Amino acid sequence: MKKLYSIFALLIAANVTALADAPDFEYVDLGLPSGTLWAKWNVGATAPQGFGDYFAWGEVEPYYSSLDPLAWKEGKEDGYAWSSYKYIDANVFSNSEILEKGLCVTKYTFADGQTSGVWYDSEGNFIGDNKTLLEPADDAATVNWGAGWIMPSNEQWQELIDECYSVWTDDYNGTGVAGIIVYATDVEADKGVYVKSGETPKESYIIGPDNHIFLPASGYYDGAVLNDGFYGWSASASTDEYSYYCLYPCLDNGVFGNSRGGRFFGDPVRAVRAKSYTVQIQQPAENGGIILEDDDISLAEGVLERTILHFKADPNDDYELDEWTGCKADGTLVVTGNATVTCSFKPKTTTAVKNEKADALKVQKVIENGTMYIIRDGEKYSLQGVKCNE
């Protein structure tokens, strides 16, 4: 059963612009502080009242080949269950307890203390990836609608809930479809308000062409069972309980908020427009440079939100990488805002390795046949270019 909890995030408006050349799906500007632009309908739908397709978290195709009549794809006969999930270690399927708890998840894991999970080794050391936001290849919005669209983060869902006036309806705009109408508002007292079923909303909030989005009560799949209500997916993994949980919006017991639960559920996906950020390389002042290894990306044109960039340090002779600034220690950057990437270099250090006896008594350098050696206390050493032990 999906568990409801409250998440409050500090939202900082960034100086960004929405991508201009995103594929031609309609969106609405609700005047949110972050500038997030929300799609008018779900991925797989063609109108606001459409349910669209259902996806497991981190997967980009439905498990079914048909919804009416319901027909599961080969290998997905259990429906939306751990046994169907993509990022699972099949070697532990024989352990029903591990399978039931999702402790065989192989991607998007963090150090949650669940040492029986496959993201820990036999000695209890964390060996997971610490990834907490879906990569583009695992984002159902990006893969199905194109690079200009992404699944909302948990913070973007929370912003939508906190900054808008939301109303339950049993019949959206005469379509007969129930769900939540989320209105733009500039009235502070109305922000974060949810008008439940049976309650009367303010008369000033009426459906207009670009003043709201509609979230249909499309339900979610658990196994082969379609449950009622409003549910969706965020792009965010849960990082406060279990690695096999992820975060999503829902309507639970009359509360419109965020929740967390197993990734295998089949939920609909609502997309948002990806933003374009400025990423700059600040070349080091000396001793080497930085190379962007992604040949298909031009930093001069702006970089799409959540793009993964790969930088390579290119040190001069006799120098090596010291540290990166503005990206991870491996030179990668997941773009979530404007960024500047640089690095520093340090001289290579050397290790003297004992070679053969020599007659000299003092430390000195000698070159024999183009090779440099160190003579120390009568011992001859060759240079290996690591760290001096002598």
* Residue 348 confidence class, pLDDT cut points 50, 70, 90: confident
**Are 213 and 78 contained in the same domain?**
yes
**Are 202 and 309 contained in the same domain?**
no
**pLDDT value of residue 254:** 80
**pLDDT value of residue 286:** 92
For 108, 319, 322, 332, the CA distances from 314, given in Å and listed in that order, are 30, 9, 12, 15
What confidence tens digit (pLDDT) does each residue in 63-89 have?
A: 999 999 999 999 999 999 999 999 998
More confident residue, 98 or 191: 191
User: Does residue 263 sit within a domain?
Assistant: yes
User: What does the alpha-carbon distance between residue 54 and residue 233 come to, in Å, rounded to a whole number?
Assistant: 10
Final residue belonging to a domain, choices 257, 273, 289? 273
Domain that holds residue 327: 278-347
The residue among 161, 167, 165, 164 whose CA lies nearest residue 199 is: 167
The number of folded domains in the chain is: 3
Share of the chain above pLDDT 90, in %: 72
What confidence tens digit (pLDDT) does each residue in 271-319 have?
A: 999 999 999 999 998 999 999 999 999 999 999 999 999 999 999 998 9
User: Does residue 216 sit within a domain?
Assistant: yes
**Are 39 and 54 contained in the same domain?**
yes
Only one residue has tokens 């991508």, namely: 19
Q: What does the block give as tokens for 2? A: 């999906």
Final residue belonging to a domain, choices 273, 295, 315? 273
User: Does residue 388 sit within a domain?
Assistant: no
* Residue 251 confidence class, pLDDT cut points 50, 70, 90: confident
What confidence tens digit (pLDDT) does each residue in 226-239 have?
A: 999 999 999 999 98
Final residue belonging to a domain, choices 216, 248, 273? 273
User: Does residue 390 sit within a domain?
Assistant: no
What confidence tens digit (pLDDT) does each residue in 355-365 have?
A: 554 444 455 66
**Are 100 and 140 contained in the same domain?**
yes
User: Does residue 389 sit within a domain?
Assistant: no
* Residue 22 confidence class, pLDDT cut points 50, 70, 90: very low
**Are 265 and 146 contained in the same domain?**
yes
The answer to whether 338 and 16 have CB atoms below 8 angstroms apart is yes
User: What does the alpha-carbon distance between residue 6 and residue 11 come to, in Å, rounded to a whole number?
Assistant: 15
